Amino acid sequence: MKIEKEWTTKAGFKAEVIAHDMGHRCGYVSVPTEHPWHGKTYDEVGLDVHGGVTYAGMKDDLWWFGYDCAHLGDARDPELMSDEYKAIRIMLVNFDGDTVKTLDFCVNECESMAWQLKDVKHDAPTE
């Protein structure tokens, strides 16, 4: 896996899109220590993002929330796949109607997630 893009979102949070060897992308947005959801698990927060929040954890003194593009309806991107996964591609079938979630798609999802995180009030309940 590799970082495909890292930037500061328009809402002011750090974000990353990771390209995985299996052919899909994941997006992550961080919150600082003073954010009310810092330290919350992924199932404690209500963020509207592709496939739902599937990750929460600490990296570089920031708390990160993430989602993945490996759900039903998500196609694998052969350009991201390692040679190992390309060799077993027969087992990694995409179905009619599945779509590759592009880098642009993932950047937009991260930007949306960042605005949602910015809107969290310090007394906001979690789900």
Place 127 in a pLDDT band, splitting at 50, 70 and 90: low
State how far the Cα of 6 lies from the Cα of 3, in Å rounded to an integer: 7
Place 76 in a pLDDT band, splitting at 50, 70 and 90: confident
Among 34, 35, 74, which residue's Cα sits nearest to residue 54?
A: 74
Rounded mean pLDDT, 84-88 = 75
Give me the pLDDT at residue 110, please.
Answer: 98
Torsion (CA) 84, 88, 93, 94 in degrees, nearest 10: 20
What stretches of the chain show up as alpha helix (H) in DSSP?
A: 83-87, 103-118
Rounded mean pLDDT, 98-127 = 86
Residue 5 pLDDT > 60? yes
Query: Chain-centre distance of CA 62, in angstroms?
Result: 15
What pLDDT, in 10s, does the model give residues 38-75?
999 999 998 999 999 999 999 988 999 999 999 989 88
Cα dist. 116→51, 53, 72, 76 in Å? 16, 12, 24, 27
Residue 107 pLDDT > 80? yes
